[in-house]
Amino acid sequence: MDYASPTSRAVLAGKRRLNKYAVANPATRMRRKALLVVCGLLVGAVNGLFGAGGGMLAVPVLSYVAGLNAQKSHATAIAVILPLCIISSVAYAATGTFDYSVFPPTVIGVVAGGVIGALALKKLSGVFIDFLFYALMLFAGLKMLF
């Protein structure tokens, strides 16, 4: 016997729709998993080559390929990029590309900003997060061109 109320069933159905990856049939899920691996290779290569940018690419991948909502795609992108950043940092340090003089003050600002951003992510709407993210990407692209 099903004891779930119509409201709870509707909420659960809505949550399932937010994550298309989780509810896809097995064949589609395998294709998406393979696509995530290929996209992950691209994200890793970009992050390793430029020292940044992997998260900017990971967010749309997680949104459109995995079907995550804005908050989950941004939070998951951070978790996905962390090991990549550690590996890239070790590689840069081993090749002498790393500048230790700017590391401590930059880390202080980045950690504080990361905490503030993570707290804000919980409070902001998905639409606003997407707008802010894509506006930042557009600004960065235009700044590089001009």
Residue 47 phi, psi (nearest 5): -65, -40
- pTM value is 0.66
Residue 69 phi, psi (nearest 5): -75, 175
pLDDT for position 22: 59
Q: Domains in the chain: how many in total?
A: 1
For residue 54, tell me if it sits in a domain.
Answer: yes
DSSP class of residue 65 equals T
Model confidence at 51, in pLDDT bands (50, 70, 90)?
low
For residue 3, tell me if it sits in a domain.
Answer: no
**Is pLDDT at 28 greater than 50 in this prediction?**
yes
Rounded CA separation 119/57 (Å): 22
For residue 79, tell me if it sits in a domain.
Answer: yes
Residues 80-137 have pLDDT tens digits of 888 877 888 888 889 988 888 998 899 899 899 989 988 998 888 888 988 998 898 8
For residue 1, tell me if it sits in a domain.
Answer: no
Model confidence at 23, in pLDDT bands (50, 70, 90)?
low
Rounded CA separation 61/58 (Å): 5
For residue 7, tell me if it sits in a domain.
Answer: no
Q: Which domain holds residue 110?
A: 15-145
Rounded CA separation 30/78 (Å): 24
